[in-house]
Chains A and B, each alone.
Chain A
C-alpha cells in the first residue's frame, strides 16, 4: 500500500534530519563512510520509522524484529538512527571513531544498544540474518528479520551461500535489501567486478526480486509491504537503486566518496545541499503523495 501523503512527508522530514545528523557525525569524526551512509539512509528511515517492531526501553525484547546491517561500514548512518530512536545517547555521536568510543566505523553489538549483530567483515550479514530468521521458526517466534547488504559486498561468495540457504529453507520471515549504489572502494561495481545481470542472479538463486528507487520512500514502502504479504515459499530481495552520497551534490555518484573527510567548507556546502535536496524531495512527496 502506498504511503499517505502525510506519512510520506513525515518520513521525508525524518530522513532529512538523519541525513543531516550523518553529515554532522562525519564532521565530528573528521571522516567517515558518508557516501554509502547517505545511499542507505532512506532504507534505514523507513525501517526504523515505519516497520521495525522494536522498543528502545527493552532492547533485548525477545520478540523484537531484528535488523542486520550487512554493509557494516554504514555505521555512520545507522548510529544517528539508533540515537534518534532513543537507543543510545546523542552525545555518543560526537565521539564516533574516537579512541575508547563505544561507536566505531562498524557498530559493535556489545557496545552500541540496539545492534543485533556486529558486522563489518563483508558477506556475513545475510547468513547471520538467515540464521536469525530460522531461529524464529525453531523457537516459535513471529518476529521479522531485515537485512541490508551493499552491492559491492555481493562479490563475496558467502552472500550467495546464504542466498541458497534462504531459498532452500524457505526463509520468508526475512526481508533482504541490496543498496545498489553501484560504487565500491576502488571504482564502479561494473568496472571492479561485474554484478549485472544482478536481479537475474538473485532470481536464479530462488528469490523474488523487487527493484525500486532506493531514494523513494514510497517505493520502498510498497516493496516492503509486498514482501510482508508474500505467501510463496520464496524469500524476497529488494534491490534498491540508490545514489552514493545522495543529497550532497558535490559527492553524489562519485565512488571516491566511499570514505572521505569533511572539512569546514565541504561540510557547509553539504548542509546547503542537503536542504535543497530535502525541498526537492518534499515537493515530490507533495506532488505524488495521495
Chain B
C-alpha cells in the first residue's frame, strides 16, 4: 500500500485490531483534513476515540443514536467530508440498516463504516451483541464494498484502501486481539483479490476474519499429520469477491470447505456457493459457521471451537470432506 507507516509484527502482538484501526485513522486524519469521525458512545470500545483525541473538532460522538449517526454521516459525505463511522457490527448492520441502505448506499455516499466486535468476538455479551448476519445484510446493499480483515495488519490495509477508494465501505473487525496472520502490511493487499496463504492441491479452505489464522493452522497440521495439501484462501474482500480465485480452487482441488464467524446463510459460504452453482461444476462442498442458529454465550475462542470454525473443527471437516466418495472424472451425467 502506498503511503503511511508499514507496521511490523513487533507491534502486532501488542495492539488489538481496533487499536491498529485507531492508529491508521489518526495517520489518515493528519494527512486529510476532510476526514471526520463519528461514533455512538463507543469511542473507547471501537478506538475511533483515538481520532477524537487527535482531532476533536472533526470528531462527533452522537450519543447512543446509531440511526442519526449514519444519516448525519451521509449528509457530511455529500457535502465533501469523508466520514469514518464506528460502532459495534450488530448495530451498524441492523439497528441502522435503513439509514445505511437509503442514505449511504442508495446515494453512493463516501462513508466508511468500520464496524467492530464482529461475529461472535464479543461472545460474553450474548446474542444481542453477536453480529451473525451483518455480512449478509451489507453484502446485499448495492454500491457497498465489504471487507473482513484477518488481523491488525490487514485492518490497516483495509482502512487505507477504504479511504483511497470512493464509495461506501463496511469493514468488519473483531473485538480484542486477533491471532497474527501477517507479520507486515506489505503482502499485496488489494480489494477484490483473495490472498492464498497456503498452497494445496487436495482441498481448499476458504475463510476470512478470525477463521483465517485457524485455517492456516489446520492446513499446517493436516500437512504434517496426514500429508494433505490444503490450500487456504483468505477472501478478505467479501464484496467484490475474487471469483477467479474461487473458480480456480474448485477446478484445482474439487473439494471446498468454507469457514466463517457468521450464519452460513448470506455470508462467505453463500457467496462461494453462488459461484460454484453458476460454474456448473460439481464439487464436494461444506459450509462451517453458525448453522442458522444463535451462538452460545462465552469466550470467542470457545464459541469458535463449539461451532467447529477453529483449527480443530476445520481440520476435522477437511478430513470428513476428503473422505467423501466424490468422483473426480469429467462425466457429470452420473452425478447426484
> Which of chain B's residues have a CB closer than 8 A to the CB of A128?
71-72, 74-75, 78, 103
Among residues of A, the one whose C-beta sits closest to the C-beta of B106 is A118
A124 neighbours in B (Cβ, 8 Å):
71, 98-99, 102-103
Nearest chain A residue, comparing its CB with the CB of B108: A110
- Does the CB pair A135–B106 fall under 8 Å? no
Please state if A118 and B107 are interface contacts (CB–CB under 8 Å): yes
Q: A124-B103, A138-B57, A161-B62 are in contact. Are A117 and B79 (CB under 8 A)?
A: no
In chain B, what residue has the closest Cβ to A109? B107
Cβ of A135 and Cβ of B75 under 8 Å apart?
yes
Contact B79 A132 (CB under 8 A): yes
State A240–B57 Cα separation when bound (angstroms).
34
Interface-side segment among A32-40, A162-170, A264-272, A277-285: A162-170
Asked if A123 CB lies within 8 Å of chain B CBs, one says yes
Q: Are A110 and B107 also in contact (CB < 8 A) when A134-B60, A139-B34 are? A: yes
Decide yes or no whether A127 CB sits under 8 A from chain B: yes
We find that the number of chain B residues with CB closer than 8 angstroms to chain A is 30
User: Is B62 in contact with A165, judged by CB distance below 8 angstroms?
Assistant: yes
- Given the known inter-chain contacts A118-B107, A157-B67, A169-B60, please indicate yes or no for A139 contacting B72, CB distance below 8 A: no
Are B79 and A136 in contact (CB-based, < 8 A)?
yes
Using Cβ atoms and an 8 Å threshold, which residues of chain A touch B57? 138
Contact of B67 among A62, A120, A127, A130 (CB under 8 A): A127
Q: Is the pair A164, B108 in contact by a Cβ cutoff of 8 Å?
A: no
Is B81's CB under 8 angstroms from A135's CB? yes
Q: B144 an interface residue at 8 Å Cβ cutoff?
A: no
* Residues in chain B near residue A41, CB distance under 8 A: none
Across the two chains, which residue of chain A brings its CB closest to B81? A135
Q: Does B72 contact A162, Cβ atoms closer than 8 Å? A: yes
> From A136, which residue of chain B is reached at the shortest CB distance?
B79
Which residues of chain A are near B106, meaning CB under 8 Å?
A: 108, 110, 118
Q: Is the interface of B mostly helix, strand, loop or mixed?
A: helix
Residues of A within 8 A of B63 (CB): 161, 164-165, 168
Instruction: Tell which of B72, B77, B80 touches A127, judged by Cβ atoms closer than 8 Å.
Output: B72
Q: Is A131 an interface residue (CB 8 A)?
A: yes
Known: A118-B102, A118-B107, A124-B99. A165 touches B79 (CB 8 A): no
CB neighbours of A139 from chain B (8 A): 34, 79-81
Q: Mark B54-86, 1 if CB is under 8 A from A, else 0.
A: 000110101101011101111111111101000
- Is the Cβ of B75 less than 8 Å from the Cβ of A129? yes
**Nearest-CB distance from B58 to chain A (Å)?**
6
With an 8 A cutoff between CB atoms, is A121 at the interface?
yes
Known: A135-B81, A157-B67. A130 touches B75 (CB 8 A): yes
* A121-B72 CB under 8 A given contacts A132-B78, A132-B79, A135-B79: no
Q: Does B36 contact A (CB under 8 A)?
A: yes
Known: A118-B107, A157-B67, A165-B65. A131 touches B74 (CB 8 A): yes
Q: How far is the CA of A138 from the CA of B82 in the complex (A)?
A: 11
- Whether the Cβ atoms of B103 and A138 lie closer than 8 Å is no
User: Is A158's beta carbon under 8 Å from chain B?
Assistant: yes
Residues of chain A contacted by B74 (CB below 8 angstroms): 117, 128, 131
In the complex, whether A19 has a CB less than 8 A from a CB of chain B is no
Say yes or no: B76 contacts A134, CB within 8 Å. Answer: yes
Report yes or no: B68 in contact with A162, Cβ–Cβ below 8 A.
Answer: yes
A136 to B99, CA, bound (A): 21
Q: How far is the CB of B31 from chain A (nearest CB, A)?
A: 15
| Known contacts A110-B108, A118-B107, A169-B60; is-contact A134 B102 (Cβ 8 Å) | no
Query: A131 near B107 (CB under 8 angstroms)?
Result: no
Q: Bits for A95-126, please: 1 = Cβ < 8 Å to B, else 0.
A: 00000000000001110000011101101100
Please tell me if A71 contacts chain B, counting CB pairs below 8 Å.
no
A66 part of interface (Cβ distance < 8 Å): yes
Inter-chain contacts of B102 with A (CB < 8 A): 118, 120-121, 124
Which of A68, A138, A168, A169 gathers most chain B CB within 10 Å? Answer: A138
Given contacts A118-B107, A124-B103, A161-B65, contact A138 B75 (CB under 8 A): no
A162 touching B71 in the complex, CB below 8 Å, given contacts A109-B107, A110-B108, A117-B107: yes
Which of B58, B68, B73, B83 has a CB less than 8 Å from the CB of A158? Answer: B68
Pairwise interchain contact A134-B72, C-beta atoms closer than 8 A: yes
Q: Which of B36, B73, B78, B81 has the most C-beta atoms of chain A within 10 angstroms of its own C-beta?
A: B78
Can you report 6 residue pairs joining A to B where beta carbons are below 8 Å apart?
A127-B72, A130-B75, A131-B73, A131-B76, A162-B68, A169-B60
What are the 4 tightest A-B residue pairs by CB atom distance, in nearest-first order? A131-B75, A127-B71, A131-B72, A135-B79
Besides A124-B99, A139-B80, 16 other CB < 8 A contacts? Answer: A110-B106, A117-B107, A127-B68, A127-B71, A127-B72, A128-B78, A131-B75, A131-B79, A134-B60, A135-B80, A157-B67, A158-B68, A161-B68, A162-B68, A164-B63, A168-B63
